[in-house]
Structure 1
Amino acid sequence: MFTKHRGTSILEWVVTGVLVVAVVGVVAYSIATKGAAEGTSLGNWIDGINVPAAP
């Protein structure tokens, strides 16, 4: 009914670790680039606001 747990091979641990690091890296990169793009858009929006001249 239950199979023997196979997580004892060093190669399996290394492959799993590399996959986890790759996924975390991709998620972190996508969050960082999305935040940078939103910051640029916000800066452009603020720069486009007309400031009235002092009387």
Structure 2
Amino acid sequence: AVRVFNSLTQLTILDLNSNQLQALPAGLFDRLGNLQQLSLSNNKLKSVLRGATA
């Protein structure tokens, strides 16, 4: 499991624009219960796997 965001439980805004992301692993945002805004513009995502977002 990817744990890069696990300690950021109070994060409300996450801007991942223009990072050339190609995929989002399942469970990536599971610990971000307070996340209100997620920006993923200008990446290379073709789809978002079920379970990538809570």
Could you tell me the TM-score, scaled by structure 1's length? 0.16
Determine which structure has the larger strand proportion and give its number. 2
Determine which structure has the larger helix proportion and give its number. 1
Structure index of larger Rg:
1
Could you tell me the TM-score, scaled by structure 2's length? 0.17
